[in-house]
Amino acid sequence: MIIKLSNDKEIPVEMHKVRIVQKTQLVPLEERLRALEEAGYNTFMLKTKDIFLDMLTDSGTNAMSDNQLAAMMQSDDAYAGSASFYKLSQAVEEVLGYKYCLPTHQGRGAEHLIAKVLVKPNSLIATNYHFTTTKAHFELAGGKVLEFYTDEALLTRSEFPFKGNLNIEKLERTIKEYGSARLPLVRMEASTNLLGGQPFSMTNLKEVRRICTKHNIPLVVDGSLISENAYLIREREHGYAQKSIAEIVREICSLADIYYMSGRKNTSVRGGLLATNSESYFLALRDWLPVYEGFLTYGGMSTKEVEAMAVGMREMVDPEVAGSAVEQVKYFVKLLGDAKIPVVTPPGALAAHLDAKLFLPHIPQNEYPAGVLAAAVYLVSGVRSMERGTISMDRDAAGREALSDLELTRLAVPRRVYTISHLEFVVDRIKWLYDKRNLVKGLRFISEPKVLRFFFGRLEPLENWETKLAGAFKKEIGAY
Ligand code: F0G
């Protein structure tokens, strides 16, 4: 909840108590330098023992509620027909409004099945923006992903409230040019992750629905960050201020033919989900579920997590839960903005995103500014962030580098995990780094996987910038 203090300062006050804690540690600079080198300058390869605050992702790292933990104790461990599944189905029907639900081991399991059932060689998949795993699955099935984002989407300093909107004109033009049969689906991603957690508006989603209906193309909604998108619609879209998050979530879902989500974000569990009201999509997806995920009533999840997902599904539409990350992100972005650090605005869901092209303008995209920034942030703070730029793109079939539209370094805010003093510490260290940005140079790959190279790729710094930066840090700040 946002509370105004007596000095007029507004802070996001946590509406929960911390009942279980986990120790963290800030290892000294020399150890951070060693850990970074060992990790091949790739923050995915760091070990948590070397990390102070883990802002890599909000996926699978949220704090669960007491009610979720209690529900896990009641799980019904059965291969088939588990009571836990029926509780989840009931929660899905109640919260999302879908009759059929299919658990998957996580979001990408759902993407794989959608690709398997709908995408054919030469298919064109229209989307407001890609997500890494989504794109990989659609392309592995022979499709091509087309991103129809709006003009404002790539302007990191714009205040446009709905950068996650799909450009309707581009969609219509493509359908006209190639025919609707080439498009097996249109995908709308809530709180568009790689654009900086930016929402779509309900008006835009309704327009997309209208076109899909007109051309008989299924509309797929990726609702991994649906509750944040609903929260931001309530804040920003005309006519929604009086609606509840639950009502807005239901309205979004009512517009989709197939819904899927990573349960690791909004529902704070380790799992995923597919849902629909169409019997034919349900049957087509269901038949592949045991081949790739697990039997219908657990889909690769543990039944404990299935139970916790049912509870998490109801909790995610509580405004205090839906707003827990959004309000912290807003505060975080404000602190960064006040310190003149280039950060994506307006603040969206899941993370504060540094604009690495503006932060490190002297580093060209083929030397990976967003990856460099993630490595440098770790070195000066012990905080782990994630590269969301050219390293997160794979090379094209001819081996050429595919430069990313945006070079973002994402500092994710897991739900109900970090405090305001944590955020203030990170901003302080990033500010110091910003003042020293000219010491920082590029990275180059020394080992590079062909698919999703950002996970396991190894890199090395150009011109030993890490030693120079560490030297300056030691002199001015010390070991910590
Ligand atoms: N769709 C979106 C919008 C996502 O953000 C993610 C995962 C997925 C699908 C895949 O789901 O991880 O459960 O298989 N995002 C994580 C992140 C990995 O760090 O942003 P998953």
Q: pLDDT digit string (tens) for 96-112?
A: 999 999 999 999 999 99
Average pLDDT over residues 227-245: 98
- Domain match, 280 and 298 both: yes
- Domain match, 28 and 16 both: yes
CATH code of the domain in which 91 resides: 3.40.640.10
Instruction: From 263, 289, 315, give the residue that closes a domain.
Output: 315
Catalytic residue among 34, 48, 66, 79: 79
Average pLDDT over residues 154-172: 97
- Domain span including residue 14: 2-58+319-476
- Note the pTM of the prediction, 2 decimals: 0.96
- Domain match, 114 and 189 both: yes
480 is catalytic: no
- Domain match, 289 and 327 both: no
Residue from 44, 54, 59, 269 to probe ligand 1 pocket by mutation (most atoms less than 8 Å from CB): 59
- Domain match, 333 and 236 both: no
- Domain match, 76 and 36 both: no
222 is catalytic: yes
Name the packing angle between helices 465-476 and 420-435 (round to 10°): 120
Centre of ligand 1 to C-alpha 193, Å, is: 8
Of ligand 1's listed atoms, the one at least distance from the Cα of 58 is: 19
Of ligand 1's listed atoms, the one at least distance from the Cα of 133 is: 10
- Domain match, 173 and 271 both: yes
- Domain match, 288 and 337 both: no
- Domain match, 198 and 142 both: yes
- Domain match, 152 and 228 both: yes
Model confidence at 60, pLDDT cuts 50, 70, 90, reads very high
pLDDT in tens, 412-451: 999 999 999 999 999 999 999 999 999 999 999 999 999 9
371: Cβ below 6 Å to ligand 1? no
pLDDT value at 397 more than 90: no
| pLDDT-above-70 percentage for the chain | 100
- Domain match, 326 and 432 both: yes
What separation in angstroms does the CA of 115 have from each of 136, 221, 242, 315, 480?
10, 14, 38, 30, 47
Instruction: From 287, 315, 343, give the residue that closes a domain.
Output: 315
**What is the rounded CA–CA span in Å between residue 136 and residue 134?**
5
pLDDT at 124: 98
- Domain match, 349 and 466 both: yes
Instruction: From 280, 315, 350, give the residue that closes a domain.
Output: 315
pLDDT in tens, 194-229: 999 999 999 999 999 999 999 999 999 999 999 999
